[in-house]
């Protein structure tokens, strides 16, 4: 039984048997993400000291080159997942191609692949605004013991076995699902452990927050323009509140707790929007559905989209079910 003073480590062990493929491998995988996240968190927290300890591109006191935080986070996650030998492949928003692990070793039996956006919203770092890490886990479809192939990574989102994010905010939280609801853990930095602080997270069915970069309004499809006007009309619980951090993880996290909708639609400038289907939309869509919310590209369920390339983009509308349904109605009406 989940209790609020439970650590993430205890929670993983206790819930391992409720996962449909009980090999312990997935638990070990989530454990390594938790570990890498702690290291990245430590670095992100120091970002404000950049004038004192040196900016990216400088050399620090040990003679090491200072890295940009997104490059650092990318390396940390890849290193941790590779060194612990628990995955057979990794794809990252920061890498052009996927990484094959242990392709030389015929004995390696690893079944899982990870897709990761190591530091999402990184333009917010310099101004001390929350950023996040997003991860998505699948079972490979090619035979165990052979090198992974592109098709292992191009699975539909509905095949995910786990997904989650870390939000480096006023506190650091790890929120994840293995297909059995969504649980949130808060890092106690004094002890270095994550504690279950938000068991069984749920999107309220309705909400009063809309999150969209309205600066792009002129470029949006008519359906989105109409929906934004609807959000701003005076009627019932409207006008809604506008809140846009520009960090997907933080906007999503707030909307899941308070009730709201996040939109990154296509525009006349970007025909598929900005967000990446595999690293951003799919994991957030899986979390949303597991938390009783909804995610759509305006017409189609995100998790049913057939990926064709690693860095593919998709329009993304995600949040409280009734709000996403309403936005879809507007999209359909203006089609």
Report, in Å, the least distance between residue 247 CB and ligand AHM.
Answer: 5
Q: Which stretch binds ligand AHM (CB under 6 A): 155-163, 202-210, 246-254, 285-293?
A: 246-254
Spell out the residues 6+ positions from residue 169 whose beta carbon is closer than 8 angstroms to its own. Answer: 130, 250, 253
Report, in Å, the least distance between residue 258 CB and ligand AHM.
Answer: 17
Spell out the residues 6+ positions from residue 101 whose beta carbon is closer than 8 angstroms to its own. Answer: 81, 82, 85, 87, 88, 89, 90, 108, 110, 148
236-240 — which CB contacts under 8 Å span 24+ positions?
Answer: 237/206, 237/208, 238/208, 240/207, 240/208, 240/209, 240/210
Report, in Å, the least distance between residue 189 CB and ligand AHM.
Answer: 24
Spell out the residues 6+ positions from residue 93 whose beta carbon is closer than 8 angstroms to its own. Answer: 116, 117, 118, 120, 276, 279, 280, 311
Report, in Å, the least distance between residue 153 CB and ligand AHM.
Answer: 18
Q: Does 120 bind ligand AHM (CB under 6 A)?
A: yes
State which of residues 81, 163, 248, 303 lies at the interface with ligand AHM (CB under 6 A): 248
State which of residues 197, 213, 242, 272 lies at the interface with ligand AHM (CB under 6 A): 213
Binding mask 145-184 for ligand AHM (x = CB under 6 A): ----------------------------------------
Handedness of CA 69, 102, 30, 187 (dihedral sign): negative
Q: Does 122 bind ligand AHM (CB under 6 A)?
A: yes
- 31 or 250: whose CB is closer to ligand AHM? 250
Report, in Å, the least distance between residue 238 CB and ligand AHM.
Answer: 23
- For residues 131 and 319, what is the distance between their CA atoms, to the nearest angstrom? 19
- For residues 69 and 67, what is the distance between their CA atoms, to the nearest angstrom? 6
Handedness of CA 198, 203, 207, 211 (dihedral sign): positive
Q: Does 94 bind ligand AHM (CB under 6 A)?
A: no
* Binding partner of 246, given ligand AHM, Mg ion, none, CB within 5-8 angstroms per partner class: ligand AHM
Site for ligand AHM in 253-282 (CB under 6 A): 274
- For residues 158 and 235, what is the distance between their CA atoms, to the nearest angstrom? 37
- 253 or 274: whose CB is closer to ligand AHM? 274
Task: Summarize as ranges the residues that interact with ligand AHM (CB under 6 A).
Answer: 117, 120-122, 213, 246-248, 274
């Amino acid at each position: 039984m989940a209790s609020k003073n439970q650590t993430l480590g205890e929670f993983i062990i206790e819930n391992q048997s409720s996962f449909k493929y009980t090999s312990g491998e997935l638990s070990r995988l989530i454990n390594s993400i938790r570990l890498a996240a702690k290291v990245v968190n430590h670095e992100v927290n120091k970002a404000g000291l950049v004038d004192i300890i040196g900016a990216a591109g400088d050399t620090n006191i040990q003679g090491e080159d200072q890295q940009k935080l997104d490059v650092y986070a990318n390396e940390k996650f890849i290193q941790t997942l590779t060194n612990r030998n628990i995955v057979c492949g990794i794809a990252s928003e920061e890498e052009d191609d996927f990484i094959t692990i242990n392709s030389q070793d015929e004995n390696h039996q690893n079944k899982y692949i990870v897709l990761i956006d190591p530091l999402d919203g990184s333009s917010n770092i310099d101004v001390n605004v929350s950023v996040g890490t997003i991860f998505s886990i699948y079972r490979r479809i090619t035979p165990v013991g052979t090198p992974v192939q592109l098709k292992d990574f191009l699975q539909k989102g509905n095949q995910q076995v786990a997904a989650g994010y870390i939000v480096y905010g006023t506190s650091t939280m790890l929120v994840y699902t293995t297909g059995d609801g969504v649980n949130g853990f808060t890092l106690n930095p004094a002890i270095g452990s994550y504690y279950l602080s938000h068991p069984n997270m749920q999107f309220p069915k309705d909400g009063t927050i809309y999150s969209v970069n309205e600066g792009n309004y002129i470029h949006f499809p008519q359906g989105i323009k109409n929906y934004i006007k609807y959000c701003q009309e005076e009627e019932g619980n409207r006008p809604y509140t506008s809140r846009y951090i520009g960090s997907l993880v933080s906007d999503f996290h707030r909307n899941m707790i308070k009730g709201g909708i996040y939109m990154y639609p296509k525009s006349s400038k970007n025909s598929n929007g900005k967000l990446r289907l595999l690293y951003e939309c799919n994991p957030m869509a899986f979390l949303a559905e597991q938390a009783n919310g909804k995610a759509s590209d305006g017409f189609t369920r995100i998790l049913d989209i057939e990926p064709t390339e690693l860095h593919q983009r998709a329009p993304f509308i995600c949040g409280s079910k009734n709000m996403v349904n309403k936005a879809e109605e507007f999209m359909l009406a203006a089609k």
